[in-house]
Chains A and B, each alone.
Chain A
Amino acid sequence: MPKTIVQEFTKGLWEELPPFRLVLGLCPVLGVTTTMENGLGMGIATTFVLFGSNLLVSLLRNIIPQKVRIACFIIIIASFVTIVELLMQAYAYPLYLKLGVFIPLIVVNCIVLGRAEAFAYKNKLSYSMADGLGIGIGFTLSLGALGAVRELLGNGSVTIWGDTSYNLMSVFPSFQPFEFMVQAPGAFVCLGLMLCVINAVGD
């Protein structure tokens, strides 16, 4: 049974939620989620690229030859990544510096290429746009959630755009920041445990 546009959009939020359901594109997931703000920023940048590349690939799907399609997808994606890079340098420079090498690396994010290949190349424009937006928003939410958990446990507080909005130490005065969580090994362990929770809930 063909899905409706709404279903294509909402599947990115649970059924195919990246990176938990589709285990792809893990590098930025692990690399930038030391704070919630970084996670959300990275998610929004990826969503823009995902939406743009899905739109263009879907528009050009009858022109792009089968044999060189991957190269064409990569060039399209790279162009959108360059746009994001320039936009962030102009309007969100501090965030651009924090995310560093991970912004150019959106070009090799498997989720973006995966959606172009598996979805946008085979589907109509409106469906591809819904798919790109849904997967992108799902990715942003996952990154935000992982960032929030790590920041809360690692620093004891969550900061969003300069305001400390939630402080664990005011609720539990004896809470000691669990620094392991914001360091490199904590990223793997935290993602592994969240995946376990999602698996348990999903079943």
Chain B
Amino acid sequence: MGYFELFISCIFVNNILLAQFLGNCPFLGTSKKMETAVGMAMAVIFVTVMAGTITWIIYTFILVNYDLVYLRTIAFIVVIASLVQFVEMFLKKSIPALYAGLGIFLPLITTNCAVMGVCVLNIDKEFTFLDSLAASLFYAIGFGLALILFAGLRERILLARVPKPLQDTSIALITAGMISLAFFAFQGMV
């Protein structure tokens, strides 16, 4: 598969949030304000690309070589957890404003299924190193795109009069369904 097809496939057709349903907790949690959504998108892109490549290297050169494939889940989560810790320390020191803005959601990237999901998908699809680097980047961009689009819509919903039982999460989910429907139209492109 060429990189252009991979690009379209990862961002639009198989969007990690809207078609594969990974990373929905931060999707609903950080999308109330545009600023946090942008910060979260950046943090996720950075962590996903790093995690995607590092876990690929560890899986291929250590786990497969020593016949330890069954340890995949444990190994991956340890890599992701330490990476997030590292990013947290880095941001705290160099970009304190962004660190304060992300707040609780930064440590929560550890339990963001999108990051772990991309790492597992790269292995399951038997990607080469460059493919998994590109796929991690594209999946993460797709995550950021969907999150920012959704945050824009949610800011508008605040102004709308929503029936009481539908308020908050319920209407957010239905809106997400509508964006998902829009992304669905890309199916068949690749």
Supposing A24-B25, A108-B110 touch, asked if A185 and B178 sit within 8 A by C-beta, the answer is yes
- Which residues 37-58 of A sit at the B interface, judged by CB distance below 8 A? none
Count A/B pairs, Cβ under 8 Å. Answer: 130
Q: Is the interface of A mostly helix, strand, loop or mixed?
A: helix
Q: Is the interface of B mostly helix, strand, loop or mixed?
A: helix
Confirm or deny: A199 has a beta carbon within 8 angstroms of a beta carbon on chain B.
Answer: yes
Interface size on B, residues (CB 8 A): 46
- Tell me how far the C-beta of B181 lies from the nearest C-beta in chain A, rounded to whole angstroms: 4
Digit string of B135-147 for contact with A (CB within 8 Å is 1, else 0)? 0000000000000
- Tell me how far the C-beta of A76 lies from the nearest C-beta in chain B, rounded to whole angstroms: 10
Chain A residues contacting B178 (CB-CB under 8 Å) are 185, 189
**Cβ of B24 and Cβ of A26 under 8 Å apart?**
yes
Chain B residues contacting A197 (CB-CB under 8 Å) are 165
Q: Which of A3-11, A78-86, A148-156, A160-168 contacts B (4 or more CB under 8 A)?
A: A78-86
Confirm or deny: B184 has a beta carbon within 8 angstroms of a beta carbon on chain A.
Answer: yes
Confirm or deny: A60 has a beta carbon within 8 angstroms of a beta carbon on chain B.
Answer: no
**Cβ of A108 and Cβ of B177 under 8 Å apart?**
no
**Cβ of A108 and Cβ of B111 under 8 Å apart?**
yes
- Tell me how far the C-beta of B188 lies from the nearest C-beta in chain A, rounded to whole angstroms: 13
Chain A residues contacting B60 (CB-CB under 8 Å) are none
Which residue of B25, B107, B177 is within 8 Å of A188 (Cβ)? B177
Which residue of A27, A109, A195 is within 8 Å of B23 (Cβ)? A27
**Cβ of B112 and Cβ of A108 under 8 Å apart?**
yes
**Cβ of A82 and Cβ of B74 under 8 Å apart?**
yes
**Cβ of A26 and Cβ of B25 under 8 Å apart?**
yes
Supposing A25-B25, A81-B73 touch, asked if A104 and B120 sit within 8 A by C-beta, the answer is yes
Digit string of A81-103 for contact with B (CB within 8 Å is 1, else 0)? 11001100000000000001100
Chain B minimum-CB-distance residue to A112: B111
Confirm or deny: A23 has a beta carbon within 8 angstroms of a beta carbon on chain B.
Answer: yes
A residues with a Cβ closer than 8 A to B are: 23-28, 30-31, 70-71, 74-75, 78-79, 81-82, 85-86, 100-101, 104-105, 107-110, 113, 183-189, 191-193, 195-197, 199-200, 203
